Amino acid sequence: MKSYQINNIKIGEGSPKVIIPLMGGSEEELMKEVYAVKELSPDIVEWRADVFGPVDDMEAVQRMTEKINTALMDIPLLFTFRSHKEGGNKEISSDYYSKLIAGVIKTRYIDLVDIELFFNEEDLDYLVGLANKNNVFVVMSNHDFEKTPAKEEIISRLKLMQKYGAHIPKIAVMPKNTEDVLTLLEATTIMREKYTDRPIITMAMGKLGVVSRLTGEIFGSAATFGAGKSSSAPGQIDTIDLRTVLEVLHKNL
């Protein structure tokens, strides 16, 4: 299984890496949040740009990316625009989504970029190629806020992300019962053991899914999301509590 060295962290080895989201709507809110999040010693910081008020202004996004990058110093930065259909905060056209992702990649102020799987194939190929050219790691993602797909479907989507060239395939699902959580965990284990040569990120959302955010080292998820000043998805828990559990599990495995 390969791992990736991204600045000062290695994802794909040891305890799952802790990703903390930035959810500020303005430049002032974001910069305050950056410094607060840094105090929590994240492995990776995710900027959820769909929450950013001026996200329609490419130059404003690029300037903000530079400011966040400078403030984070050597902490890796993941850029994410979560589409409205996958639980994001703002609707934009497919054309602008592609231009936005490309424009941020070209700044080289990010270390990782989230690209959603269910986008058109031509643009996926272009964006993945552009990320590779600019030494940006691709986290290809899919989010189902309604249900937990069958085990075979979860695996199929993760395999498809690999086919498109994702460095790190990621899927998040919504469980309706504990059986759904087990489905996600089993799919993660099968994917790791049989079908992948790279880190993957999986999680079940909501209160039922909390266990999936804690046990990645056992089942095969290479990173987990902790709440900083605010959370970006249902079921994220306090980062300090999260790290405590991850350390206990890692020590006893």
**pLDDT at position 138, please?**
98
Distances (CA, A) of 136 to 18, 101, 209, 227: 19, 11, 30, 24
Mean pLDDT of 203-231: 90
Q: What is the DSSP letter of 157?
A: H
28-38, pLDDT tens digit by residue? 999 999 999 99
User: Residue 162 annotated as binding?
Assistant: no
User: Residue 108 annotated as binding?
Assistant: no
36-46, pLDDT tens digit by residue? 999 999 999 99
Total domains in the fold of the chain: 1
* Domain assignment of residue 9, given as a range: 4-251
pLDDT reading at 246 higher than 70: yes
**pLDDT at position 233, please?**
58
Instruction: Note the pTM of the prediction, 2 decimals.
Output: 0.95
pLDDT reading at 176 higher than 70: yes
User: Residue 192 annotated as binding?
Assistant: no
Q: Write the CATH number for 58.
A: 3.20.20.70
Mean pLDDT of 2-25: 95
* Dist CA 36 CA 249 (whole Å): 26
Q: Which residues pair with 20 in a beta bridge?
A: 45
Q: Which residues are marked as active site?
A: 143, 170
* Both structure tokens of 92: 């934009």
User: Residue 212 annotated as binding?
Assistant: no
Amino acid (1-letter code) at residue 138? V
The 10 Å Cβ neighbour count of residue 240 is 11
182-211, pLDDT tens digit by residue? 999 999 999 999 999 999 999 999 999 999
> How large is the C-alpha radius of gyration of the chain?
17
